[in-house]
Amino acid sequence: MVLTWSSVAAAVPEISLTAAICLILLVDVFAGERGRRVTPTLTLLALAVGAALTVRYGHVTERAPLFAGMYVADELGFVLKLAGFLLVAVALLYSRTYLENRSILRGEYYVLALTALLGIFVLVSAGSLLTVYLGVELLALSVYAMVAFDRDSGVSAESAMKYFVLGAIASGALLYGMSLIYGLTGTLDLAEIAARLRAPNTAGVILGLTFIVVAVAFKLGAVPFHMWLPDVYEGAPTSVTLFIGTAPKIAYFALALRLLAQGLAGTASEWVQMLAALAVLTLVVGNVVAIVQSNLKRMLAYSTIANVGFIVLGFVAGTPDGYAAALYYTLVYVLVALGSFGVILLSSAKGFEADLLDDYRGLHQRDPLLALAMMMLMFSTAGVPPFVGFWAKLRIFQVLWETNHLWLVVIAAGMSVVGAYYYLRVVKLMYFDEPPTALPAAPPAARPAAGVRLALGLNAAAVLLLGVLPGPLLDLCARLIH
């Protein structure tokens, strides 16, 4: 096969990102101390250039396999990669002051974020089991290192270790399941696998499928494979929690879509049942356990688990509409998570981690903008209109009705009420409680630039705007899946 420009144009995001990683690594090594100032800006620039190049050259409307079927170029990948650029850029923007105040503003952090993004891209466009695994590992290894980035912090090291060990087991499960599928179908290509797997499936295929479902559930954080998630969210530096909680979710959505819904479509009747059980457990455990948390990061971790339950419900529907609903839910969730962790980052100061719920007492009087943004984000996750989270939940309910899952609707509806309680509690702390009388004395420290606060304001405004006019994003998600 001859490589021509037109045959690789769709891979422009990956190519430009790889080039940027090399460049930033070199600049960071040779620029020395001054590089610390340059690297963050350069990274944001690289992301902007990458996104611009992607829009200019990487837009594909037709689904086309590239590189001998290892790579699939389609519009879904195009949009998810643009979202990845945006999310990582905003996440790094929010994080800068935080990193500076903790003296961990180093070039490696930015390079690791970019390699993680590269892993996301590879995963999003994976056309074969090998590329899937490559993407999963590239993303996971970068993230393990980021969790341990604050190397003087025992908690960070502990959670990185936990993440790494459990993640390795999940990777093992994924590989084992893939090897079974490969052995039984004789191909690594996902489209080929889809063509060769036809019901009724042999026990071997189902065994392989089970391992793959376990791995996907682990990556998404579905109960009972969620154990790592609260510890890592709480233990990692908040900027890393923000990173883990946003862009990788898109990749893991793509993982579930490419592997289960596309590659293993022939086993849908089996995995739908597995996922239904996982979704119910995830919804119940995530929502109920979140109620008793006193640490906001940990509470949001359980809230993530609860939201993953809704995303999995979209897959349980097992229809293109269901996948579109799951995609919409993922994008909406990621947007809201970006803002909520952004608020934690901006509330923190030097020597002060604003990660306890009690740290948010009376935030409204200290910083009305942050409190307003946080309130909007919390009501959005609770699923109250006029915020966008409402439509995400509505869409999931709708696909569940379309596929006659009465009990799942009832459970999901009940659990959203339980969930509303702990989101309301955050609003209560910020708006109804008096601020603590003795505020921790703030040492001289870098303050977030006005632009960062503006970005957070826009983030919250987007949650409102998409909630009032949800049509375009809903249409986009439906178009990408069909």
Indicate the DSSP class of residue 469.
S
Stretch touching another protein by CB under 8 A, among 7-15, 285-293, 401-409, 455-463 = 401-409
Give the integer Cα–Cα distance in Å for 82 and 471. Answer: 20
Question: 265 with 194: CB under 8 angstroms?
Answer: yes
435 binds another protein (CB under 8 A): no
By CB under 8 A, how many residues form the interface with another protein? 30
**356 versus 372: smaller Cβ distance to another protein:** 372
Nearest to 57 by CA among 88, 13, 87: 13
For 370-383, b/e burial (b = at least 16 CB within 10 A) is bbbbbbbbbbbbbb
**56 versus 428: smaller Cβ distance to another protein:** 428
Least gap, CB of 323 to another protein (angstroms)? 15
Using only C-alpha atoms, what is the Rg of the chain?
A: 22
**Could you give the count of Cα atoms lying within 13 Å of 230 in the half-sphere of its Cβ?**
20
Give the integer Cα–Cα distance in Å for 286 and 303. Answer: 6
**55 versus 462: smaller Cβ distance to another protein:** 462
Stretch touching another protein by CB under 8 A, among 32-40, 269-277, 380-388, 435-443 = 380-388
H or E element that contains 72: strand 71-73
Give the integer Cα–Cα distance in Å for 268 and 318. Answer: 7
- Options 88, 274, 379, 452; binder of another protein; rule CB under 8 A: 379
What are the DSSP calls for 307-363, one per residue? HHHHHHHHHHH-SHHHHHHHHHHHHHHHHHHHHHHHHHHHH-BTTB-TTBGGGGTTH
390 binds another protein (CB under 8 A): yes
- Options 424, 445, 458, 465; binder of another protein; rule CB under 8 A: 424
Give the integer Cα–Cα distance in Å for 55 and 63. Answer: 17
- Options 19, 227, 428, 440; binder of another protein; rule CB under 8 A: 428
Give the integer Cα–Cα distance in Å for 420 and 402. Answer: 25
398 binds another protein (CB under 8 A): yes
291 binds another protein (CB under 8 A): no
374 binds another protein (CB under 8 A): no
H or E element that contains 180: helix 154-185
| Residue keyed to tokens 């995530």 | 286
Least gap, CB of 172 to another protein (angstroms)? 40
Stretch touching another protein by CB under 8 A, among 116-124, 213-221, 247-255, 389-397 = 389-397
Crossing angle of the two packed helices 75-101 and 471-481, in degrees rounded to 10: 120
401 binds another protein (CB under 8 A): yes
471 binds another protein (CB under 8 A): yes
- Options 69, 385, 435, 457; binder of another protein; rule CB under 8 A: 385
Cα-to-chain-centroid distance, residue 91: 12
65 binds another protein (CB under 8 A): no
Stretch touching another protein by CB under 8 A, among 48-56, 222-230, 308-316, 379-387 = 379-387
Stretch touching another protein by CB under 8 A, among 13-21, 67-75, 180-188, 471-479 = 471-479
Stretch touching another protein by CB under 8 A, among 24-32, 167-175, 355-363, 472-480 = 472-480
Give the integer Cα–Cα distance in Å for 419 and 389. Answer: 13
474 binds another protein (CB under 8 A): yes
161 binds another protein (CB under 8 A): no
389 binds another protein (CB under 8 A): no
Nearest to 340 by CA among 454, 242, 447, 449: 242
What are the DSSP calls for 221-247, one per residue? T-TTS-THHHHHHHHS-HHHHHHHHSH
358 binds another protein (CB under 8 A): no
- Options 369, 420, 446, 462; binder of another protein; rule CB under 8 A: 420
- Please give the residue ranges that form the binding site for another protein (CB under 8 A): 379, 384-386, 390, 394, 397-398, 401-402, 409-410, 413-414, 416-417, 420-421, 424-425, 427-428, 431-432, 469-471, 474-475, 478
